[in-house]
Each structure stands twice: as structure tokens, then as C-alpha cells.
């Protein structure tokens, strides 16, 4: 029998993420940490979408900057012109050369930033006379974006699988620095770090050290693993491996950067700096699509002296309205002392989550930094066994939370790209203590709602 596909009650011509069922509710406005639906629903935005809306919604200073720039100059192609907001934004970000990063290349989002970082890495080695460096090492359970280069760099099994034939073999993957899942019971943190560094060294040796262009990593892993910081000393150790073999260190701070973890750059907490860094979400705070690649002179100068041009580009590079919005967002973060607030309110969020969920029989780990927190759900705390992926517990939590007026960012595949569930929280930096209480109350209730729909028999994987 041929069954007709279910026709949504409301037809939408937008090709939404989910093609089945009704289209998502219409968002019509927002203020502070709240999003407003067309039906009058008020939703507490506890993840800023996907760790994007760092200033919340409707910020007057950012709106004013966008309006002013749109009225002054909306667009001028970068092959002819630069613009005042692009110059000012670059000055704001790298004028003081943080960690030696002295140049900014502006794109329209995180995946574009990663693509540019990868091509820049490759071009650097071609220009310095090392064209044999064509391999890039990244980590399993990482996410670097959905365009083909970025997806190939990423190490998430589920996201890669359908597109495997299109993904470059230039990328290989080592273990993630994921203490909860990867550190052995008989191992200290220092021994775990040393083991990961040895594995990276072995991967350089397997590929041939002079064939490796870069090691790419998120300082705090976001979407695929749920706010996983590295163990102490890890980034110093991998920096040393890269330096020993002349490879570049590329840090992807698209999600964890621009203040999210309590310092403007997450690498500041690691005692090292990258050669190339990508940023995006917290750069423009969702007010405009924008990403950037921050680059050291070590990389830019040989290209300047060599071919004289980065062989790359997009139509919307350094878009003036996007740069004006990002500049306003960064001014607000600095002027309002929001990094300090991320640290204070991040600690409060951690404390509240621990009080509410720390002894929960299905919460295995609560982790993260600043206002970037992950909660890993497990079927059994002692063995850390995940729930059966077929139950889609993460999707149940998302639906239950939304029904309670909470938008959070749960995902599956936490353990290995297929098994495991976590919830990611990344609220706006302006969130108040009372709103943090509300987030934790609603999330705790939503997790219990979701679990009550999963019988314990089903729960074992």
C-alpha cells in the first residue's frame, strides 16, 4: 500500500531543517534573554540559539549601529574598497595583537571562517616552499562546520557519514581531550594529557611530520560533545608537538570564543596562543551573520612578501553592516564589563546546576566554563552507559524544555558521534541571577519530563 506523506497542517515554502510535520513556530520579536512567538509565547533563550546571542535580543546600541551603517553604506565590494566599520573592527580585535594575532579576515559565519583558515594554512606552506604539507590533523568528536572542508575537518561520525565520499582524505583524527569519557580510572590528569600528546606525536610520525600542515581543535568543544574543556596542560603539549614539527596550530573558537568562557579568547586560559584562530557566533551576537579569521604575522608576512595575495574570497567579505554590528557588540562587551559578568554568573549557573542535577541518577557530568555549560545524560552513572540512541532522549529534552518555555541546545552522539546525550547551555552574557534560576528550574523539570517518557527497560543501550 502506498501511503501519502503526512501533509503539514500549515504549509510553508521555506525548506526548514525538519521537513516533516508542521513548520516551527514563528518568532516575531525578542528582548533581553526572551524570545517572543507569534502566538504570544515567551521563551527563555538559554542557549542563544547555538551559543550566538551573547547580548540577548533587541540590544539598542547594536540596533542603532546597524541602522546607521545601512543608511550610510550597505555594501561595497572588497576588490574595490575597504570600509570604516571593517577597519575599526579589525583594530578592535587585533590592534593590540593578542597572542601575536595581528590580522583579521572577515567572512559571513563559522564554516566560512574554517574554510578560509584551512586554505590560508595550505597557501602559507606553498609560499614558504613546503608544498608537501597537505595533511591536517583534527580530533574525533569535534565540530568545525558543515561546508565540505569544515565537515571533513570535523570528527563527528553521524554528521560525516552520509557525505563521506565527498570528504577530503587530507584530514585525520586523534582522540578528543574529553576527560569524562576518555581518561582512564587508573590515570591522573597529567598522565591523560601526556597520553594524548603522545598520540598526536604518533599521528605526525604516521603521516610523516613534514607532510602535516596543521592541528585543528576547539579549545572548549561545543556542539558535538557539550562544553568539554581540555585537561590541564593539554594545549601547551599540543602546541609543543606542532612547534617541534613546524606545523601550525589552528584554534576554532567559533562557538567558545568572544567571551563565552569568561575570557575574550578561550585560549587565554591555556597559556598558549594559536597561529590562526576562527571566531563567529559571539562576534556579531546574531545581529548580523559574521565570522572572522585572526592570523599571526608569522603566516601573513611570507604571503605578503610572496604572491602578495590570499587566494580566496567571497562576495560578502567584510560586509560593512555586519562589521558595524560586530563592532557594536564588542564595544558593549567591553564597556559594560560583560566578561566579568560571564565569570560571576557562569559560576552561579554551575552552582545551581550542581544543586539541581548533581545527584540526579541520570546526570553523569556537568562541565564547561563561564556561561558555556554542558550536562551529559547517562542511563547509568556508575558505568557511564548512555541511553539507547533510538530513544532520542536529547530530542525529548528539547521538546519538553520548549513546552516549558525554555530554548536550550540538546544533542546526541556525545560519546562517539552516535551514542550519548547532552544538553548545552549558552545563555546571553546579560542573564540575571533570577533568570539563571528559571533556566535551571525549567531544565531540571524538562529532563524529568523527558525521562518519564522513557521506561527503564528501554533505557539500557
Ligand X SMILES: Cc1ncc(COP(=O)(O)O)c(C=O)c1O
Q: Which residues bind ligand X (CB under 6 A)?
A: 50, 109-111, 114, 143-145, 218, 222-223, 252, 254-255, 280
Which lies closer to ligand X via its Cβ, residue 34 or residue 143?
A: 143
Count CA atoms within 13 Å of residue 264 on its CB side: 15
Work out how close the CB of 383 gets to ligand X at its nearest, in angstroms, rounded to a whole number: 29
Burial of 452 (0-12, 13-18, 19+ CB in 10 A): exposed
Work out how close the CB of 379 gets to ligand X at its nearest, in angstroms, rounded to a whole number: 27
Residue nearest to ligand X (CB): 110
Which lies closer to ligand X via its Cβ, residue 127 or residue 376?
A: 376
Work out how close the CB of 400 gets to ligand X at its nearest, in angstroms, rounded to a whole number: 23
Residue 58 CB contacts under 8 Å (≥ 6 apart), including other chains:
29, 30, 31, 32
Work out how close the CB of 328 gets to ligand X at its nearest, in angstroms, rounded to a whole number: 19
Which lies closer to ligand X via its Cβ, residue 126 or residue 329?
A: 329
Which lies closer to ligand X via its Cβ, residue 223 or residue 459?
A: 223
Which lies closer to ligand X via its Cβ, residue 251 or residue 450?
A: 251
Which lies closer to ligand X via its Cβ, residue 50 or residue 445?
A: 50
Q: Where are the beta strands (DSSP E) in 52-170?
A: 101-107, 135-139
Cell numbers for 206: 604516521
Instruction: Compute the distance between CA of residue 401 and CA of residue 333 in angstroms, rounded to an integer.
Output: 29
Instruction: Compute the distance between CA of residue 71 and CA of residue 452 in angstroms, rounded to an integer.
Output: 53
Work out how close the CB of 166 gets to ligand X at its nearest, in angstroms, rounded to a whole number: 17
Instruction: Compute the distance between CA of residue 446 and CA of residue 397 in angstroms, rounded to an integer.
Output: 6
425 contacts 373 by C-beta, under 8 angstroms: yes
Buried residues in 385-405 as b, exposed as e (16+ CB within 10 A): bbbebebbbbebbbbbbbebb
Closest CA to 413 of 241, 176, 191, 249: 176
Which lies closer to ligand X via its Cβ, residue 218 or residue 275?
A: 218
Work out how close the CB of 121 gets to ligand X at its nearest, in angstroms, rounded to a whole number: 15
Work out how close the CB of 71 gets to ligand X at its nearest, in angstroms, rounded to a whole number: 27
318 contacts 409 by C-beta, under 8 angstroms: no
Count CA atoms within 13 Å of residue 120 on its CB side: 30
Amino acid at each position: 500500500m502506498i501511503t501519502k506523506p503526512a501533509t503539514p497542517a500549515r504549509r510553508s515554502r521555506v525548506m526548514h531543517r525538519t521537513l516533516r510535520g508542521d513548520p516551527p513556530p514563528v518568532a516575531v520579536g525578542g528582548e533581553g534573554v526572551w524570545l517572543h512567538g507569534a502566538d504570544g509565547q515567551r521563551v527563555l533563550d538559554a542557549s542563544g540559539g547555538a551559543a550566538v546571542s551573547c547580548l540577548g535580543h533587541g540590544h539598542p546600541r547594536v540596533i542603532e549601529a546597524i541602522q546607521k551603517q545601512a543608511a550610510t553604506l550597505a555594501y561595497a565590494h572588497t576588490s574595490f574598497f575597504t570600509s570604516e566599520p571593517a577597519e575599526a573592527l579589525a583594530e578592535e580585535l587585533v590592534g593590540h595583537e593578542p597572542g601575536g594575532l595581528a590580522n583579521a579576515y572577515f567572512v559571513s559565519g563559522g564554516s566560512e571562517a574554517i574554510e578560509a583558515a584551512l586554505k590560508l594554512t595550505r597557501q602559507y606552506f606553498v609560499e614558504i616552499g613546503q608544498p608537501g604539507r597537505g595533511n591536517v590533523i583534527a580530533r574525533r568528536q569535534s565540530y568545525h562546520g558543515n561546508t565540505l572542508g569544515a565537515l571533513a575537518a570535523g570528527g563527528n561520525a553521524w554528521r560525516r557519514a552520509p557525505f563521506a565520499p565527498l570528504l577530503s582524505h587530507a584530514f585525520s583524527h586523534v582522540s578528543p581531550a574529553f576527560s569524562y569519557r576518555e581518561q582512564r580510572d587508573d590515570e591522573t590528569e597529567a598522565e591523560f594529557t601526556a597520553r594524548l600528546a603522545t598520540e598526536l606525536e604518533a599521528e605526525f610520525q604516521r603521516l610523516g611530520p613534514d607532510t602535516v600542515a596543521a592541528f585543528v581543535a576547539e579549545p572548549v568543544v561545543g556542539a558535538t560533545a557539550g562544553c568539554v574543556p581540555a585537561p590541564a596542560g593539554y594545549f601547551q603539549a599540543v602546541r609543543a608537538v606542532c612547534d617541534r614539527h613546524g606545523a601550525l596550530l589552528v584554534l576554532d573558537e567559533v562557538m567558545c570564543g568572544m567571551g563565552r568562557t569568561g575570557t575574550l579568547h578561550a585560549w587565554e586560559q591555556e597559556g598558549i596562543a594559536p597561529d590562526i584562530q576562527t571566531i563567529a557566533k559571539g562576534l556579531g551576537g546574531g545581529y548580523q551573520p559574521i565570522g572572522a579569521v585572526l592570523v599571526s604575522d608569522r603566516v601573513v608576512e611570507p604571503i605578503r612578501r610572496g604572491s602578495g595575495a590570499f587566494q580566496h574570497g567571497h562576495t560578502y567579505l567584510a560586509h560593512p553592516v555586519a562589521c558595524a554590528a560586530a563592532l557594536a557588540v564588542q564595544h558593549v562587551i567591553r564597556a559594560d564589563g560583560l566578561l566579568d559578568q560571564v565569570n560571576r554568573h557562569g559560576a552561579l549557573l554551575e552552582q545551581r546546576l550542581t544543586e539541581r542535577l548533581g545527584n540526579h541518577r541520570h546526570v553523569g557530568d556537568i562541565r564547561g566554563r563561564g556561561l558555556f555549560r554542558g550536562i551529559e545524560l547517562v542511563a547509568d552513572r556508575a558505568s557511564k552507559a548512555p541511553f539507547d540512541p533510538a530513544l532520542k532522549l536529547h530530542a525529548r529534552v528539547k521538546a519538553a524544555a520548549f513546552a516549558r518555555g525554555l530554548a536550550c541546545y540538546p544533542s546526541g552522539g556525545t560519546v562517539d558521534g552516535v551514542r550519548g546525550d547532552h544538553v548545552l547551555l549558552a545563555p546571553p552574557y546579560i542573564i540575571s541571577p533570577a533568570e539563571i534560576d528559571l533556566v535551571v528550574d525549567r531544565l531540571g523539570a524538562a529532563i524529568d519530563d523527558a525521562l518519564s517518557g522513557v521506561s527503564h527497560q528501554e533505557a539500557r543501550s
